[in-house]
Amino acid sequence: MFEHCPPHRPQKIKLFVYLHKKSHHYLFYVENYVILCPMENKVSNELTEQDYAFMKRAIYLAETGMNSGQGGPFGAIIINSKREIIGEGSNSVTSTNDPTAHAEIVAIRNACKKSNNFQLDGCTIYTSCEPCPMCLGAIYWARPERIFYASSKYDAADIGFDDQFIYDEIHKENSHRSIFTKQIMQDDSVRIFKKWAEKANKTEY
């Protein structure tokens, strides 16, 4: 049975959602109904049924990644301006021995690879938890248009993922940071920067 999107958010929505490209609609399986939702051509800051479905997908990735032993309970997806999923990721820090393999980072890498671009212009990131400082920095470098998150950084801190100390470290002078930090050979490094500034055929980002 097909119905058009209701103006309110359904209380129970299953995880399966896919794009019906021929009709340019999304199909949402909600209990015993199939809800037919037209694609949005323009990215808006107003929440839609699609936003909740995409967040459900991110939360699903967090749970399945955790249950499979891939890593911590975090998941993320990235959609483009056509509302197509172009990148997904689950935290895989412990399974890959990569401390940077947070869900958002993995999703960004996959999205950039699929789109063959180092920028995510017009894209939206849905992440199961508020991004940590590292992921937030990566997100800003990737330059998507919007970020949605579910759990807060305080929720994460309650189960042992407390990033507040990193926020605190950023504002400290080098001499007061918990990891020894000292600047050396600045002139040698700045020399390369000057060459970059003068480079004619560089790809800026």
Residue 40 near residue 146, CB atoms below 8 Å = no
Span between the terminal Cα atoms of the chain, in Å:
48
DSSP code, position 63: H
Q: How many CA atoms lie within 13 A of 1 on its CB side?
A: 6
31 is catalytic: no
Look at residue 135 and give its three-state secondary structure: helix
- Alpha-carbon distance 120 to 104, whole Å? 13
Residue 91 near residue 65, CB atoms below 8 Å = yes
* Structure-block tokens of residue 184: 């050396």
Closest C-alpha to 147, from 60, 63, 43, 72: 43
Q: Name the catalytic one among 31, 40, 46, 104.
A: 104
Q: Which residues are catalytic?
A: 104
